[in-house]
Structure 1
Amino acid sequence: MAVVGFDVGFQNCCIAVVKSGGIETASNEFTDRCTPAVVSFNAKNRTIGNAAKNQMITNTASTVSHFKRLHGRLFQDHSVQAEKASLPYDLVPLNDGKVGVKVMYLDQEHRFSIEQVTAMLLTKLKDIAEANLQKKVVECVISIPSFFTDSERKSVLDAAKIAGLNCLKLMNDSTAVALNYGIYKEGLPGCDENPKIVAFVDMGHSALQVSVCAFNKGKLRVLSTAFDPYLGGKDFDQKLVEYFCAEFKSKYKMDVKSKARAMLRLTQECEKLKKLMSSNSTDILLNIECFMDDKDVCGKMNRAKFEELCADLIERVMVPLMTAVEQAQVRLQDISAVEIVGGATRIPAVKAQISKFFKRDVSTTLNADEAVARGCALQSVIM
């Protein structure tokens, strides 16, 4: 029987499969281990993943991305209205009052629910898993953020059902990471001994989640979880976007925010710039050709300036860390290790802030992008 774990992220998805007695990460048709959470609708067909991401600039209004936050929410929800302003495609109310997306597909206007869009993405992930395993995939474990409400969880389960998947369990991201880290680890204390306490900090594209777990041999107990659902890598990208919008306005007299396509291009370039600054502290140039009205633009940024811009975000990292430790009722000196996962933990200032709070070096023994999916696959095996 096929055993699969899906990490359906805000920006990217990861698939872990059990193969040849071990857990492997499945690659898609582009040999990428991460598949973008993007669905694009065209006059002739529908594309998902990498091919859809490539159409985000050329087919802006009918390419749906960053929809994970919209699960199980009503159109009138204040968080939906806040999200609506930053999305290049149209959000619309459905008959049941929930939020849906409006796109042009096969030369007609279509309205899809978030469950339907997620089901399309899950179908793609299922196809990748089946191609990797060479067998049919039905049962799986899917990851969700620890702060998802019952209606959001139900929405994900409905999407899995539409995709023809039997979801054995919805697993919290932080629990999946902990399971992947240590359930079969060598050298853990016995059941009658004091447990090994480990803190996990998962900062992805859109949210920060922290958990404190206790490990004994073959046993895992989650002592506490804390989170900030609105603090992730995209908030750091946004700081750069705001900075360059202001700079281009004064330097080139361009109103970048008036064009959705220009904003998308700038956001993509700022994300690349952020990643370059993680490994380079000197000035890095940002050049975009034919940006608006066939004009080229350029700017520059360095890590020190970036950290200055993001000082408030870096400070916010502290709050969930403090909450998790307080709720777990453990002292900092009782924590044996601090494991970090998620793409945004690669930002040096974020890593330094976590290290400063726990008064120890952080550990990166887990794969930052694949840890959640691997934990889900392991849970699938256990079940």
Structure 2
Amino acid sequence: MSVIGFDIGNESCVIAAARRGGVDVLLNDESKNETPAVVSFGEKQRFFGSAGAAFATANPKSTLSHIKRLIGKLYKEVEEDLKLLPFATSEGPRGGILIELEYLKRKWAFTPVEILGMLFKHLKQITEKNVESVVVDCVIGIPSYFTDLQRRMYLDAALIAGLRPLRLMHDGTAIALSYGMYKTDFSNSGPTNVMFVDIGHCDTQVTLAAFEPGKMKILSHSFDHNLGGRDFDEVLFHHFAAQFNKIYKIDVYDNARASRRLRASCKKVKKLLSAYAEAPLIIECLIGDTDVRGFITRKEFENLSSKLLQRIIAPCSVALQDAGLGVDKLYTIELVGSGSQIPAITKFLKSVFEKEPTRTLNASECVARGCALRCAMLSPSLIVRDYKVYL
């Protein structure tokens, strides 16, 4: 019996496998622990992961990404999101989303579930190559705000790929499990309360958990499903788009290829600003023969992002209120997620809650590890130490 955990992100996916020696994060064909959540349709074949992402600039209209964001949504609900995506979409017969493209000299219309099924199939192949056996049983991480329809569609997509999910596990619960399972220094005098703030690509999830030796209890979940790392990217995108329009007299909003290249560069600038106080942005031939240069400091970026930083506090406060806890009852605030690396987030949370957020978990791997641990607890093929999870 396979003991596998899948974390399907908006931009990338992580696979973890529980073995007798512990939990390992599996590497893809490029020896990376993160696989881009991308499916690209070439003229005669499909490309997945890193190979698919490589086609994003050359063939944007047939390169599909951000599928997690579209699962189980009506076309009207995500109309603004769809404007940011380069591929063509239309409204389906029941108000759902259809992704339109040309493949094998034919026009196709795929649903997000079908595309997610293809992605699951690719991840299944990576897993089987690593564990050298057939993979069927697994646990899959999902956001806590998913509706019943979205959960069912995840199950349908897994079924398309030949997988049999034993559980769909909330991301926050998986993070808490990967945090508490191996920790041995919890107090015997009472619960240790930890707030997990997971800032992903397009959402923010907050989970409050109480830990005691040999057990954990989830106290509350809260979220903002429209606040994530991409919003900080967009702040930089709009800043430089306005700057280039003023200096070079070019409008990137009217050019899909230029917009995509600028967004990719803004993401790199954001990462640079996490380590340095200032960062340059240089793009050759952004539109036509026009080379562009820009520059921004971390202080300017923080000022531009001030409203986004304030929004992070709201789900944290809701989680505390729902759990009936005060800030003084918190042991620590654990930051995870691809969007959590911005120093201003740490500084802002500290100023509000008067606690220095910690980063003891691997920000990108903890959900997959927690899902693999849960799968191990459900598996008869592995012996796992007794650990109780109360939801």
Look up the equivalent residue of 1:273 and give its one-letter code: V
Deviations 1:245-278 (A, max 9, x none): 1111111111101111111100000000000000
- Structure 2 distance, partners of 1:320, 1:36, is 28
- Structure 2 distance, partners of 1:243, 1:74, is 31
Contact 1:140 1:169 in 2 (8 A): yes
Look up the equivalent residue of 1:289 and give its one-letter code: E
Aligned to 2:325: 330
- The 3-state SS of whatever aligns with 1:317 is helix
Aligned counterpart in structure 2 of residue 116 of structure 1, from 114, 117, 128: 114
Aligned-pair distance for 1:20? 4.0
Look up the equivalent residue of 1:261 and give its one-letter code: R
Contact 1:226 1:320 in 2 (8 A): yes
Look up the equivalent residue of 1:214 and give its one-letter code: A
Aligned to 2:85: 87
- Structure 1 distance, partners of 2:74, 2:162, is 25
- Structure 2 distance, partners of 1:19, 1:294, is 54
- The 3-state SS of whatever aligns with 2:266 is helix
- Structure 2 distance, partners of 1:244, 1:303, is 14
Contact 1:340 1:363 in 2 (8 A): yes
Contact 1:183 1:217 in 2 (8 A): no
Look up the equivalent residue of 1:303 and give its one-letter code: R
- Structure 1 distance, partners of 2:268, 2:20, is 36
Aligned counterpart in structure 2 of residue 311 of structure 1, from 306, 310, 314: 306
Deviations 1:76-98 (A, max 9, x none): x3x22111211111112234432
Contact 1:183 1:215 in 2 (8 A): no
Contact 2:174 2:369 in 1 (8 A): yes
Contact 2:346 2:356 in 1 (8 A): no
Aligned to 2:36: 36
Aligned to 1:252: 248
Are positions 1:367 and 2:385 aligned together?
A: no
Aligned to 2:191: 195
Aligned to 2:220: 224
Identify unmatched segments of 5+ residues in structure 1.
Answer: none
Contact 1:6 1:140 in 2 (8 A): yes
- The 3-state SS of whatever aligns with 1:345 is coil
Q: Which 10-residue stretch deviates more, 229-238 or 66-75?
A: 66-75
Q: Which structure 2 residues correspond to residues 14-33 of structure 1 after superposition, within 5 A?
A: 14-33=14-33
Aligned-pair distance for 1:189? 4.0
- Structure 2 distance, partners of 1:172, 1:239, is 29
Aligned to 1:240: 236
Moved over 6 A (4+): none
Identify unmatched segments of 5+ residues in structure 2.
Answer: 379-391
Look up the equivalent residue of 2:150 and give its one-letter code: E
- Structure 1 distance, partners of 2:126, 2:18, is 14
- Structure 1 distance, partners of 2:285, 2:209, is 51
- Structure 2 distance, partners of 1:63, 1:118, is 13
Contact 1:6 1:13 in 2 (8 A): yes
Aligned to 2:284: 289
Normalising by structure 1, what TM-score?
0.96
- The 3-state SS of whatever aligns with 1:346 is coil
Look up the equivalent residue of 1:143 and give its one-letter code: G
Aligned to 1:5: 5
Aligned-pair distance for 1:122? 0.8
- Structure 2 distance, partners of 1:82, 1:286, is 27
- The 3-state SS of whatever aligns with 1:199 is strand
Are positions 1:156 and 2:158 aligned together?
A: no
- Structure 2 distance, partners of 1:247, 1:188, is 52
- Structure 1 distance, partners of 2:350, 2:126, is 37
- Structure 2 distance, partners of 1:257, 1:213, is 43
Aligned-pair distance for 1:207? 0.7
Deviations 1:194-225 (A, max 9, x none): 21111111001111111111112221111111
Aligned to 1:300: 295
Aligned to 1:350: 345
CA RMSD of aligned residues (A): 1.2
Deviations 1:302-327 (A, max 9, x none): 10111111111011111111111111
Aligned-pair distance for 1:184? 3.9
Q: Which structure 2 residues correspond to residues 167-186 of structure 1 after superposition, within 5 A?
A: 167-186=165-184
Contact 2:327 2:353 in 1 (8 A): yes
Normalising by structure 2, what TM-score?
0.94
Q: In the comparison of the two structures, how many residue pairs are matched? A: 378
